[in-house]
């Protein structure tokens, strides 16, 4: 018997101190690189996007991959890529933590549109407000002192 899965997740993480270092001109290069990391882990990318201080990734999680290691690998590899290629000169690192949220495939189109429209979305809301909204939407308990 084969293994069958349906695992749509959204991963969200920020630059260290939420520094606005991910300038628009090189974000696509970063996103393509992260796509390659996901492909190497046998994960299917549905959408990646973000703004100056954070990114969102909608992906299928391969059954042999755990989220903590996937995020660690994405952060380590992309941080090295950013610094080696001087993509974002002011970038120092990614934040320590991350958000990870599950979705049904019925939500796939809505999630893709949400990630696609990050720049417009953040004209009205900052990362912290967005993260709190996601945590509440997914009934995740949190302490606001750990969100800074």
At 45-79, the pLDDT tens digits run 999 999 999 999 999 999 999 999 999 999 999 99
- Domain-embedded: residue 116: yes
Count how many domains the chain has.
1
- Distance, in Å, from the CA atom of 124 to the CA atom of 91, rounded to the nearest integer, reads 24
Residue 78 structural domain = 8-146
**Model confidence at 148: pLDDT above 90:** no
- Domain-embedded: residue 2: no
Q: Report the SS3 class of residue 12.
A: strand
- Distance, in Å, from the CA atom of 53 to the CA atom of 23, rounded to the nearest integer, reads 9
Q: Domain of 39: which CATH number? A: 3.30.70.1290
What pLDDT does residue 1 have?
66
Confidence of residue 12 (pLDDT cuts 50, 70, 90): very high
The pLDDT tens digits of the residues spanning 107-133 come to 999 999 999 999 888 888 899 899 999
Summary mean pLDDT of the chain? 93
- Domain-embedded: residue 3: no
How many CB atoms within 10 Å of residue 91? Answer: 20
CB 55 within 8 A of CB 48: yes
Dihedral sign for Cα 21, 25, 29, 35, please: positive
**Model confidence at 9: pLDDT above 90:** yes
What pLDDT does residue 3 have?
80
Tell whether pTM > 0.85.
Answer: yes
- Domain-embedded: residue 108: yes
18, burial (CB in 10 Å: exposed 0-12, middle 13-18, buried 19+):
middle
- Domain-embedded: residue 139: yes
In b/e form, how buried is each residue of 37-66, taking b as 16+ CB within 10 angstroms?
bbeebebebbbbbbbbbbbbbbbbbbeebe
What pLDDT does residue 70 have?
97
- Domain-embedded: residue 68: yes
- Domain-embedded: residue 131: yes
């Amino acid at each position: 018997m084969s293994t069958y899965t349906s695992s749509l997740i959204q991963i969200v993480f920020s630059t260290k101190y939420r520094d606005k270092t991910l300038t628009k001109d090189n974000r696509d290069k970063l996103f393509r690189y992260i796509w390659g990391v996901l492909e190497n882990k046998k994960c299917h990318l549905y959408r990646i996007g973000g703004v100056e201080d954070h990114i969102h990734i909608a992906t299928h999680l391969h059954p042999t991959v755990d989220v903590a290691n996937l995020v660690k690998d994405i952060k380590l590899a992309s941080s090295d890529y950013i610094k080696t290629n001087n993509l974002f000169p002011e970038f120092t690192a990614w934040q320590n933590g991350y958000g990870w949220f599950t979705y049904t495939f019925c939500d796939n189109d809505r999630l893709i549109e949400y990630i696609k429209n990050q720049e417009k979305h953040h004209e009205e809301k900052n990362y912290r407000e967005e993260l709190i909204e996601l945590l509440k939407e997914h009934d995740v308990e949190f302490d606001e002192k750990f969100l800074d």
